[in-house]
A = this chain, B = another copy of it.
Amino acid sequence: MQPRVQDLARFTLPPNFRGRPAWFVQLWWIVQGTLFRCSPQFMYGWRNFLLRLFGARIGKGVIIRPTAEITYPWKLTIGDYVWVGDHATLYTLGEIYIGDNACVSQHSYVCAAAHDYLKPTFDIYSSAVVIEPEVWLATNVFVAPGVTVGRGAVVGACSVVTKNVPPMTICAGNPAKVIRPRPTGEEVLSAAERQG
Protein backbone atom coordinates (compact mmCIF):
# COMPACT_ATOMS: atom_id res chain seq x y z
CA MET A 1 0.00 0.00 0.00
CA GLN A 2 1.13 3.52 -0.84
CA PRO A 3 2.06 5.78 2.05
CA ARG A 4 -0.51 8.53 2.55
CA VAL A 5 0.09 11.86 0.81
CA GLN A 6 -2.12 13.61 3.35
CA ASP A 7 -2.41 12.32 6.89
CA LEU A 8 -4.35 14.83 8.97
CA ALA A 9 -4.02 12.74 12.14
CA ARG A 10 -0.33 13.68 12.11
CA PHE A 11 -0.92 17.42 11.67
CA THR A 12 0.40 19.69 14.42
CA LEU A 13 0.46 23.47 14.80
CA PRO A 14 3.98 24.94 14.85
CA PRO A 15 4.99 26.29 18.28
CA ASN A 16 3.36 29.67 18.98
CA PHE A 17 1.82 29.77 15.50
CA ARG A 18 -1.13 31.75 16.81
CA GLY A 19 1.03 34.28 18.62
CA ARG A 20 -1.35 34.24 21.59
CA PRO A 21 -2.58 31.54 24.02
CA ALA A 22 -5.43 29.35 22.77
CA TRP A 23 -7.87 30.74 25.38
CA PHE A 24 -7.16 34.26 24.15
CA VAL A 25 -7.93 33.27 20.57
CA GLN A 26 -11.20 31.64 21.59
CA LEU A 27 -12.07 34.71 23.66
CA TRP A 28 -11.58 36.94 20.62
CA TRP A 29 -13.83 34.73 18.50
CA ILE A 30 -16.57 34.94 21.12
CA VAL A 31 -16.16 38.72 21.25
CA GLN A 32 -16.20 38.92 17.47
CA GLY A 33 -19.34 36.76 17.23
CA THR A 34 -21.21 38.92 19.74
CA LEU A 35 -20.03 42.45 20.68
CA PHE A 36 -18.43 43.05 17.29
CA ARG A 37 -20.88 41.43 14.86
CA CYS A 38 -24.06 42.49 16.66
CA SER A 39 -23.04 46.15 16.89
CA PRO A 40 -25.14 48.49 14.70
CA GLN A 41 -23.38 49.50 11.51
CA PHE A 42 -22.58 53.10 12.49
CA MET A 43 -20.53 52.05 15.56
CA TYR A 44 -17.21 52.05 13.71
CA GLY A 45 -15.32 53.46 16.70
CA TRP A 46 -16.52 50.65 18.93
CA ARG A 47 -15.34 47.95 16.54
CA ASN A 48 -11.95 49.64 16.07
CA PHE A 49 -11.69 49.81 19.87
CA LEU A 50 -12.35 46.07 20.17
CA LEU A 51 -9.79 45.24 17.49
CA ARG A 52 -7.15 47.45 19.17
CA LEU A 53 -7.97 45.85 22.52
CA PHE A 54 -6.96 42.53 20.97
CA GLY A 55 -3.76 43.91 19.51
CA ALA A 56 -4.57 45.36 16.06
CA ARG A 57 -2.82 48.52 14.91
CA ILE A 58 -5.50 50.67 13.27
CA GLY A 59 -5.18 54.22 11.96
CA LYS A 60 -7.71 57.03 12.04
CA GLY A 61 -10.94 57.22 10.06
CA VAL A 62 -11.11 53.44 9.54
CA ILE A 63 -14.50 51.98 8.60
CA ILE A 64 -14.95 48.26 9.31
CA ARG A 65 -18.40 46.72 8.88
CA PRO A 66 -19.88 44.48 11.60
CA THR A 67 -19.89 41.27 9.55
CA ALA A 68 -16.22 41.55 8.58
CA GLU A 69 -14.13 38.76 10.12
CA ILE A 70 -10.59 39.22 11.43
CA THR A 71 -9.09 35.93 12.56
CA TYR A 72 -6.22 37.18 14.75
CA PRO A 73 -6.39 40.97 15.31
CA TRP A 74 -2.84 41.02 16.73
CA LYS A 75 -1.48 40.25 13.24
CA LEU A 76 -3.33 43.11 11.54
CA THR A 77 -1.94 46.54 10.66
CA ILE A 78 -4.25 49.06 8.99
CA GLY A 79 -3.44 52.63 7.95
CA ASP A 80 -5.69 55.70 7.86
CA TYR A 81 -9.05 56.02 6.05
CA VAL A 82 -9.30 52.34 5.16
CA TRP A 83 -12.62 50.59 4.46
CA VAL A 84 -13.35 46.92 5.09
CA GLY A 85 -16.76 45.81 3.79
CA ASP A 86 -19.44 43.44 5.02
CA HIS A 87 -18.55 39.75 5.06
CA ALA A 88 -14.94 40.55 4.14
CA THR A 89 -12.46 38.16 5.78
CA LEU A 90 -8.96 39.14 6.86
CA TYR A 91 -7.53 35.69 7.52
CA THR A 92 -4.62 36.93 9.61
CA LEU A 93 -2.94 33.66 10.49
CA GLY A 94 0.05 35.57 9.09
CA GLU A 95 0.51 39.33 9.10
CA ILE A 96 -1.76 41.45 6.91
CA TYR A 97 -0.86 45.07 6.18
CA ILE A 98 -3.40 47.44 4.62
CA GLY A 99 -2.17 50.88 3.57
CA ASP A 100 -3.87 54.29 3.79
CA ASN A 101 -7.01 54.88 1.71
CA ALA A 102 -7.32 51.24 0.63
CA CYS A 103 -10.77 49.72 0.19
CA VAL A 104 -11.44 46.01 0.77
CA SER A 105 -15.00 45.57 -0.49
CA GLN A 106 -17.67 43.16 0.71
CA HIS A 107 -17.07 39.40 0.63
CA SER A 108 -13.37 39.76 -0.23
CA TYR A 109 -11.02 37.25 1.36
CA VAL A 110 -7.43 38.17 2.18
CA CYS A 111 -5.64 34.95 3.12
CA ALA A 112 -2.26 34.92 4.91
CA ALA A 113 -1.81 31.17 5.44
CA ALA A 114 -1.94 27.87 3.57
CA HIS A 115 -0.92 24.22 3.87
CA ASP A 116 2.16 22.55 2.42
CA TYR A 117 0.46 19.80 0.44
CA LEU A 118 3.81 18.27 -0.47
CA LYS A 119 4.18 17.07 3.13
CA PRO A 120 1.93 14.27 4.38
CA THR A 121 1.71 16.18 7.66
CA PHE A 122 -0.03 18.98 5.73
CA ASP A 123 2.05 21.60 7.55
CA ILE A 124 0.43 24.99 7.94
CA TYR A 125 2.50 28.05 7.16
CA SER A 126 1.84 31.76 7.11
CA SER A 127 2.96 34.30 4.55
CA ALA A 128 2.31 38.01 4.93
CA VAL A 129 -0.05 39.84 2.57
CA VAL A 130 0.45 43.52 1.78
CA ILE A 131 -2.36 45.68 0.41
CA GLU A 132 -0.61 48.93 -0.41
CA PRO A 133 -2.20 52.40 -0.09
CA GLU A 134 -5.01 53.47 -2.42
CA VAL A 135 -5.77 49.92 -3.56
CA TRP A 136 -9.32 48.87 -4.31
CA LEU A 137 -10.21 45.21 -3.93
CA ALA A 138 -13.72 45.13 -5.38
CA THR A 139 -16.31 42.70 -4.10
CA ASN A 140 -15.53 39.01 -3.58
CA VAL A 141 -11.81 39.23 -4.42
CA PHE A 142 -9.44 36.53 -3.14
CA VAL A 143 -5.82 37.41 -2.32
CA ALA A 144 -3.43 34.48 -1.81
CA PRO A 145 -0.74 34.19 0.89
CA GLY A 146 2.47 36.08 0.23
CA VAL A 147 0.97 38.46 -2.31
CA THR A 148 1.57 42.22 -2.48
CA VAL A 149 -1.06 44.31 -4.25
CA GLY A 150 0.80 47.41 -5.42
CA ARG A 151 -0.12 50.99 -4.59
CA GLY A 152 -3.23 52.29 -6.35
CA ALA A 153 -4.12 49.00 -8.06
CA VAL A 154 -7.76 48.15 -8.78
CA VAL A 155 -8.76 44.47 -8.61
CA GLY A 156 -12.07 43.68 -10.33
CA ALA A 157 -14.98 41.90 -8.68
CA CYS A 158 -14.58 38.15 -8.11
CA SER A 159 -10.90 38.12 -9.11
CA VAL A 160 -8.46 35.55 -7.73
CA VAL A 161 -5.08 37.15 -7.03
CA THR A 162 -2.33 34.56 -6.90
CA LYS A 163 0.67 36.73 -7.82
CA ASN A 164 1.84 40.24 -6.99
CA VAL A 165 -0.17 42.99 -8.68
CA PRO A 166 1.93 45.88 -10.07
CA PRO A 167 1.13 49.36 -8.74
CA MET A 168 -1.35 51.52 -10.67
CA THR A 169 -2.79 48.67 -12.72
CA ILE A 170 -6.30 47.36 -13.19
CA CYS A 171 -6.54 43.58 -13.07
CA ALA A 172 -9.31 41.00 -13.13
CA GLY A 173 -10.09 37.34 -13.66
CA ASN A 174 -9.38 33.90 -12.23
CA PRO A 175 -6.41 33.97 -12.03
CA ALA A 176 -6.21 37.77 -12.05
CA LYS A 177 -4.30 39.36 -14.93
CA VAL A 178 -3.41 42.97 -15.64
CA ILE A 179 -5.90 44.52 -18.09
CA ARG A 180 -4.66 48.10 -18.34
CA PRO A 181 -2.99 50.81 -16.26
CA ARG A 182 -4.98 52.89 -13.79
CA PRO A 183 -4.67 56.56 -14.66
CA THR A 184 -2.22 58.41 -12.38
CA GLY A 185 -3.29 61.26 -10.14
CA GLU A 186 -2.18 63.83 -12.71
CA GLU A 187 -4.03 62.09 -15.52
CA VAL A 188 -7.17 61.93 -13.41
CA LEU A 189 -6.89 65.61 -12.52
CA SER A 190 -6.31 66.76 -16.07
CA ALA A 191 -9.17 64.58 -17.32
CA ALA A 192 -11.37 66.13 -14.65
CA GLU A 193 -10.34 69.59 -15.79
CA ARG A 194 -11.16 68.75 -19.41
CA GLN A 195 -14.56 67.50 -18.29
CA GLY A 196 -15.06 70.49 -15.95
A residues at B contact (CB < 8 Å) = 2-9, 22, 26, 29-30, 33, 38, 40-42, 61, 80-83, 89, 91, 101-103, 106-107, 109, 111, 114-115, 117-120, 122, 134-136, 138-140, 142, 144, 152, 154, 157-158, 160, 162, 168, 172-175, 182-186, 188-189, 191-192
Per CB-CB distance, the 8 closest pairs between chain A and chain B, nearest first, are A3-B185, A6-B134, A8-B81, A158-B160, A9-B81, A5-B152, A8-B101, A174-B174
Quote the shortest CB–CB distance from A120 to chain B (angstroms): 6
A160 in contact with B157 (CB, 8 Å): yes
CA distance A42 to B152 in the complex (A): 40
Q: Which of B122, B134, B175 contacts A103 (CB 8 A)?
A: B122
Quote the shortest CB–CB distance from A125 to chain B (angstroms): 14
Binding site secondary structure of chain A: loop
A6 in contact with B136 (CB, 8 Å): yes
Q: If the complex has contacts A40-B26, A101-B4, A152-B5, are A139 and B120 also in contact, measured as CB distance less than 8 A? A: no
B107 in contact with A109 (CB, 8 Å): yes
Quote the shortest CB–CB distance from A138 to chain B (angstroms): 8
A144 / chain B contacts, CB cutoff of 8 Å: 157
A188 in contact with B119 (CB, 8 Å): yes
A2 / chain B contacts, CB cutoff of 8 Å: 184-186
CA distance A8 to B114 in the complex (A): 32
A157 in contact with B9 (CB, 8 Å): no
